[in-house]
Amino acid sequence: MPLARAFGVAALALLLSLDCAADTAPALGAKLVVVGKSGTPSVEGAAQGIAEAKQQGEFLGQQFELSIVPTPDAVPADGVAAILTTGQDDVARELAKRHPNVPVLNLAAQDDALRARCAPNLFHVIPSTSMLNDAVAQWRKQHPDAQVAARAWHPKFEKYAASQLNLRFEKRFEHPMDDTAWSGWAGVKLVTDLIAQTRNAAPAMLVEALRTKLAFDGQKGSTMSFRPNGQLSQPILLVAGEKIVGEAPVRGVADVDDLASLGESQCVP
């Protein structure tokens, strides 16, 4: 065989094999770790989220896995796409510091001070105290005498397919979905959605994508994204007794799509 022709055949074979490789690329996989206790609402929420990610992954050839570990020390040093924490400020801070290139998602700690530190890899799924306070303040402008509580989620919330999510959670765990169960679900779902979209589970890339590319459907009717301080923007529910009386931003007080009207987004150096 003349050299040129042999080269041509080899090049063609290489092209074909590359083409093949593209079609039969190894399935994308990602492992998430949640630091918390089995049976707590936020860990159950995370389990609900991973079940839904697996369901989506079946159609896209993507595999997701969630490990539950009891303490920050038990988080593996490598091979983790994202870490979720159900602990308070100190745990969230510690995890973000120990794993600087991995996204750490705070599911439970609500302090504004934690957000103001603006750790580049720390993301807050649960609303901050100032978001909840602003939601109540907006409501009181219209209803000065109303006693309402601000919540991230409520098991009786029905709009925007919230009833579907509540139903799925109750079916699986046989009790209602509360605020931290929602943040657990949302934390897993927003990470796995982004991995599915970008087809990339590299943790450093995820930190960047969470900051810049997120357009998440938290089943509360608005597109959710992270603020510069790492807080997830989201509507807040207003509850009186066991009844949902409104949503914030409160129509008539703020633009319903102006999620920035709730809470802070500043970083304090």
Partner 1 sequence: MRPVKSHHFMKGTAVKFFAPALLLCVAANCAAAPTNRLFVTNENSDNVSVIDLATNKVTATVDIGKRPRGIGRAPDGSAIYVAVSNENSIAVLDPQSLKVLRKFHCGEDPETFAVHPNGNIYISNENDAMASIYDPATGKLIQEVKVGNEPEGVAISPDGKRAIVTSESSNLIHILAIPEYKITANVLVGARPRAATFNRDGSIVYATSEIGAEVKKIEASTGKIIGHVPLADDKAKPKDILISRDGTKLYVAGGRANRVFVIDEKSLAVLHEIPVGKRVWGLAMNRDGSRIYSTDGASNQVSVIDTKENKAIAQIPVGDAPWGVAIDD
For position 251 contacting partner 1 by CB under 8 A, the verdict is no
Q: Counting contacts by CB under 8 A, is residue 247 touching partner 1?
A: no
Comparing CB distances to partner 1, the nearer of 56 and 129 is 56
What's phi and psi for 237, nearest 5 deg? Answer: -95, 145
Interacting span for partner 1 (CB under 8 A) from 15-23, 91-99, 120-128, 215-223: 215-223
Does 222 sit near partner 1 (CB under 8 A)? yes
**CA 87, CA 69: separation in Å to the nearest integer?**
12
Binds partner 1 (CB under 8 A): choice among 6, 20, 60, 204: 60
Residue 38: CB minimum distance to partner 1, A? 24
Least distance (Å) between residue 193 CB and partner 1? 7
CA 65 to chain centre: 15
Residue 215, interface with partner 1 (CB under 8 A)? Answer: yes
Q: Does 27 bind partner 1 (CB under 8 A)?
A: no
Complex with partner 1: residue 16 or 161, whichever CB lies closer: 161
Q: 216 with 223: CB under 8 angstroms?
A: yes
CA torsion, ordered 236, 220, 109, 248, to nearest 10 deg: -10
Q: Hey, which residues between 62 and 121 contact partner 1 (CB under 8 A)?
A: none
Q: Which part of the chain contacts partner 1 (CB under 8 A), choosing from 9-17, 55-63, 120-128, 232-240?
A: 55-63
Q: Which residue has the tokens 């080899």?
A: 10
Among 50, 132, 165, 206, which residue interacts with partner 1 (rule: CB under 8 A)?
Answer: 165
Using the minimum distance from each CB to partner 1, give the nearer residue, 239 or 256: 256
Contact residues toward partner 1 (CB under 8 A) are: 52, 55-56, 59-60, 161, 164-165, 167-168, 193, 196-197, 215-217, 219, 222-223, 256-257
